[in-house]
Structure 1
């Protein structure tokens, strides 16, 4: 059933606006603000209430539904939870204003748009494109690859836990709570980001990726955002070339690299489903 859900999610993502209607975080963020305002709840207890409790309820619900009607009642729950757990926004679509400014050769406008739309603060235009490449790689990883990895390995509870931790780390105003959420998310990122890095080696520049991974494979301290940007840029063979559009084709090449990785992952999921 997991592979069927993953296929349906691709269709929903491509042809439907259901994801944007489902991804409403108002209730979760309201509860986060309420617990933070109280100031009396320990960060670990806050995480238990915000993350562990919803995941436990979900697991219990699926435990009840899966034996009924050959799991058909659990299928829509899997689908809705996985869609909700995907990342927010459209990473590629958000690059539109930046691409327009870069194509015009307006460096100051490109810097301004990158800060406004992408949250990238860069002082010099020549390093901006590398940062935008890293942004695209990270958003694709945390929005899609990490979520489907944990869904396929541990089920919808793990996918939901990943997204709730990400929302807590991003929106929490308490340093202690944010740090603990980031630490747990770092632990959840450790395995899937390395799986994606090895996928980059298979669909991109194998030698360049493996040269980086020999040093970083077991490095616990490197963050997922730095690792995926570092490996993704060297995996793209066109990353060091200039063209008439002043490097915009690099972003398209990085996106194509991500699409090839997605095809590879789905092929491996399908093979595992058939063999098991």
Structure 2
């Protein structure tokens, strides 16, 4: 049932560009507001994530024996679509690349902010820094909007996928209304929740990309420590960029931060990142299909 739900969700995302109308977060904002009076950030985050996830898991299990499992499938599909990433990834990347290739760095920066709140906060001093920030954000957004959700959906069902998305929204989106200390705690929890799927995706990068360089980076960064960030300070986004940038064949010209050659090569590199994410998705689907058969 889970594999069928994943295939249908993948087809829906190709059609709509996102999870569509089911991705409405007003309920989460209201629920977060109800929890604000609780005394502890740990208690607030726990109650924000666990009750909805457990309720969904129990409901899917209760429906599993009805009408050949069709109600359970439909509910799992709806929760999976809700749990996928927000916005149309392909359109936002296209808008960014259009501005970048025209030499409109202000427009590219504006479109790049859709990929990363960190870019909104810190800014970028030059074209090279902007490109690195957006490349890292594209790797991470490609991961969080699909790969992490599917990993927890396969492992724990619809409740696991929903728990991941709620925790991600609490950590990364101010619109949820979570207090800053709650956001910080959610971000720490998110690091551990993402630790394993991030490394599995990094391994997929090595398998389908430039193997020697990317596998060396995967081996160097994957097990450097898990105490909130590894020994080199790599969170999920930094890790994916460190491994993924070695997997793509397009490399930036050394020491060059402007000019037509740099602009063209940086655009080609982002297109290569997009293709790497797409091939990794097919790799994961193939692995899930094999697991489904056996």
> Quick check: 106-115 or 203-212, which moved more?
106-115
> Quick check: 52-61 or 113-122, which moved more?
113-122
Q: Which residue of 1 aligns with 2:86?
A: 88
| Long gaps (5+) in structure 1 | none
Report deviation, 1:68: 2.3
1:111–1:125 contact (8 Å) kept in structure 2:
no
Matched, 1:14 2:14: yes
1:147–1:162 contact (8 Å) kept in structure 2:
yes
Q: Which residue of 2 aligns with 1:56?
A: 54
Calculate the aligned-residue CA RMSD, in Å.
2.0
Report deviation, 1:17: 6.9
State the alpha-carbon separation in 1 of the partners of residues 107 and 16 from structure 2.
33
1:166–1:181 contact (8 Å) kept in structure 2:
yes
Report deviation, 1:245: 3.0
Report deviation, 1:215: 1.9
Q: Which residue of 1 aligns with 2:211?
A: 206
CA offset digits 1:223-245 (Å, max 9, x no partner): 11110111111110113365783
State the alpha-carbon separation in 2 of the partners of residues 103 and 264 from structure 1.
31
Q: Which residue of 2 aligns with 1:260?
A: 279
**Matched pairs, number:** 273
1:151–1:158 contact (8 Å) kept in structure 2:
yes
List aligned pairs for 1:1-276, cutoff 5 A. 1-16=1-16, 19-36=19-36, 38=37, 40-115=38-113, 118-119=116-117, 120=119, 121-170=123-172, 171=174, 172-218=177-223, 219-220=225-226, 221=229, 222-240=234-252, 242=261, 245-275=264-294
Report deviation, 1:10: 1.0
Moved >6 Å (runs of 4+): none
**2:124 alignment partner, SS class:** coil
Q: What's the TM-score once normalised by structure 2's chain length? A: 0.86
State the alpha-carbon separation in 2 of the partners of residues 72 and 173 from structure 1.
36
Distance 1:115 1:9, change over 3 A: closer
2:80–2:161 contact (8 Å) kept in structure 1:
yes
Report deviation, 1:201: 0.4
Report deviation, 1:63: 2.1
State the alpha-carbon separation in 1 of the partners of residues 27 and 202 from structure 2.
35
Distance 1:207 1:42, change over 3 A: same
CA offset digits 1:135-157 (Å, max 9, x no partner): 11110100001001111122111
